[in-house]
Amino acid sequence: MPLDPARLFDPDPTQKSAAMYLYELVAKKPIYSPHGHVNPAFFSKPNYHFKNPVELFIQPDHYVIRMLYSQGITYDRILTSENPRAVWQLFASNYFLYRGTPSGIWLDHEMWEVFGVKEKLTGDSADRIYDQIVHMLAGEEFTPRNLYKKFSIAVLATTDSATDTLEHHQAILNSGWDGRIIPTFRPDNLINLNASDWIQNIHLLEKVSGIQIGSYKEFIQALEQRRSYFKSMGATASDVSPAQPITAWLSPNEMEVIFQRALQGKPAPPDAVNFSAHMLIELARMCVEDGLVMQIHPAIYRNHNPQVMKEFGPDTGFDIPVRTEFTRQLKPLLDRFGNHPNLTLILFNLDESALPRELAPLAGAYPAIKLGPPWWFLDSWNGMRRYFDQVMETTGIYNTVGFNDDTRGLLSIPARHDVWRRASANWLAGLLVRGVIDREDAETMIHELTDGLVKKAYHL
């Protein structure tokens, strides 16, 4: 379906033309993607090919599949490897469900801009579009490496378990390809004592680090060793996703006692919360020392639907946000490192009530804190509009970090960054036509929001 070149902008002609002017300054700039979940294996083999649009657009995208499930289309009909054409037909017949949603905007963008699909996707056009996409995917232009170039991606950060050996990243480096696919250090499964596979992960950590882990101190050494390895592979950032951003400093003895109980598989009831609370500060301390950026993505109830989890596993659309709090919960961490010039702590958030109340004032005062972009359910036109509205007056743009696409879907990356650039341009155009900033300011700011802030914050 053809895309309006001035899409998403406010309809007032003055604002729209100012937005268009600002957008065009940055529309073609390289993409910095400092946080996401694209599979690095796509790039380790030079000739990797996606097979069909089901594998590409539907099955890996929990934003997409949950909408079908919510309408009673069960996952056995979607998450099957048999007959992808039938899955595509089912999806196309229900494509109207995505009207007005970010998934709809991204999918329309991908089909038009990447595949040149000229028809609206419906049950009727499904087959033709399927054939067209399958045909194009087989072409040389559509290997992930060539898409990376086509999309003008400058950096693509993946998210990797702390115990990951980063073999795909290694293979990419060895291949001499000049794309920049960098890992991100994410130790969640070592920090969450409630994870059923925590012990196995400790064993895995021992194995990949070569450090025997009999004590908390050795655990910390092993983590530091992995961080050092990730840095050597290009990482500039770490990430952690605690149930709540609770922080607390425990003594080495207290941590040792908790760690020993955990090693023996006998944690006491409050151990998991205390362990995680201390580890957030410990990770901040490591960031201060090794210079990795710290990201926190808190307050999601993961795998909320036990039946779906049992049958189809995680990342199937049933991670549901919960209320959260930063002012009190982050204070112990900030007491230690909030003023430290070496720490960059990027906070993400899905509880918008905390945005103007807590996060904007915190990011607008502490030198260590930067505010992450609208994330996940808020990575949308209105989510961005509300973010600019609720955050910028208190925080100022220089305490924010541009955009993260946070996606599994390689093809959605340009679509998502395009929405951000349009939202930024439209917001700045609103300030410009209201006389709050002048044209010179607006021009500087659109570049900052597109790539200046992200490069600086993530040390790219």
Residues in region 84-113 near a second copy by CB under 8 A = 96-102, 104-105
In this chain, which of 124, 365, 439, 459 binds a second copy, going by CB under 8 A?
365
Pure H helices in 157-249: 167-175, 188-191, 198-209, 216-232
Candidates 36-44, 82-90, 221-229, 300-308: pick the segment binding a second copy (CB under 8 A): 300-308
CB of 60 to a second copy, least distance (A): 17
Work out the number of other CB atoms within 10 angstroms of the CB of residue 342. 12
CB of 322 to a second copy, least distance (A): 5
* Type of residue found at 308: V
353 binds a second copy (CB under 8 A): yes
Using CB under 8 A as the binding rule, the residues of this chain from 119 to 138 that contact a second copy are 120
CB of 392 to a second copy, least distance (A): 5
Using CB under 8 A as the binding rule, the residues of this chain from 189 to 228 that contact a second copy are none
Distances in Å between the Cα of 105 and the Cα atoms of 95, 132, 231, 372, 374 are 12, 20, 36, 22, 16
* Type of residue found at 39: N
Work out the number of other CB atoms within 10 angstroms of the CB of residue 290. 16
* Type of residue found at 111: M
CB of 371 to a second copy, least distance (A): 11
Which residues on adjacent β-strands are paired with residue 181? 156
Number of residues that bind a second copy (CB under 8 A): 94
Q: Kindly write out the interface string for residues 45-84 of this chain, putting x where it contacts a second copy by CB under 8 A and - elsewhere.
A: ---------------------xx-xxxx------------
CB of 299 to a second copy, least distance (A): 9
| Nearer residue to a second copy within complex by CB, 149 or 340 | 340
Using CB under 8 A as the binding rule, the residues of this chain from 4 to 23 that contact a second copy are 4, 6-12, 14-15
- What is the token pair recorded at 207? 């194995």
Placement of tokens 């906070």 in the chain: 347
In this chain, which of 203, 207, 367, 439 binds a second copy, going by CB under 8 A?
367
Candidates 47-55, 134-142, 263-271, 347-355: pick the segment binding a second copy (CB under 8 A): 347-355
Candidates 26-34, 161-169, 234-242, 365-373: pick the segment binding a second copy (CB under 8 A): 365-373
| Nearer residue to a second copy within complex by CB, 131 or 441 | 441
Using CB under 8 A as the binding rule, the residues of this chain from 301 to 330 that contact a second copy are 301, 304-308, 317-318, 320-323, 325, 327-328
Q: Are strands 185-186 and 181-182 parallel, antiparallel or unpaired?
A: unpaired
Pure H helices in 198-298: 198-209, 216-232, 252-263, 271-290
Q: What is the largest CA-CA distance in the chain?
A: 67
> Which residues have C-beta within 8 Å of that of residue 301, sequence separation ≥ 6?
319, 320, 321, 322
Using CB under 8 A as the binding rule, the residues of this chain from 130 to 189 that contact a second copy are none
In this chain, which of 377, 408, 443, 452 binds a second copy, going by CB under 8 A?
377
> Which residues have C-beta within 8 Å of that of residue 197, sequence separation ≥ 6?
189
Nearest-angstrom CA–CA distance, 301 and 284: 24
Q: Kindly write out the interface string for residues 248-277 of this chain, putting x where it contacts a second copy by CB under 8 A and - elsewhere.
A: ------------------------------
CB of 114 to a second copy, least distance (A): 18
342 binds a second copy (CB under 8 A): no
Distances in Å between the Cα of 244 and the Cα atoms of 187, 294, 301 are 16, 16, 10
CB of 258 to a second copy, least distance (A): 25
CB of 11 to a second copy, least distance (A): 4
| Nearer residue to a second copy within complex by CB, 39 or 94 | 94
Nearest-angstrom CA–CA distance, 254 and 216: 10
CB of 268 to a second copy, least distance (A): 23
CB 391, CB 423: distance < 8 Å = no
Distinct helix (H) and strand (E) counts, the chain: 22, 11
In this chain, which of 152, 382, 439, 459 binds a second copy, going by CB under 8 A?
382
Nearest-angstrom CA–CA distance, 103 and 380: 9
Placement of tokens 């425990």 in the chain: 250
443 binds a second copy (CB under 8 A): no
CB of 305 to a second copy, least distance (A): 6
Candidates 195-203, 208-216, 265-273, 428-436: pick the segment binding a second copy (CB under 8 A): 428-436
Phi and psi, residue 197, nearest 5°: -105, 25
Select from 190, 194, 188 the least CA-distant residue to 202: 190
* Type of residue found at 205: L
CB of 140 to a second copy, least distance (A): 32
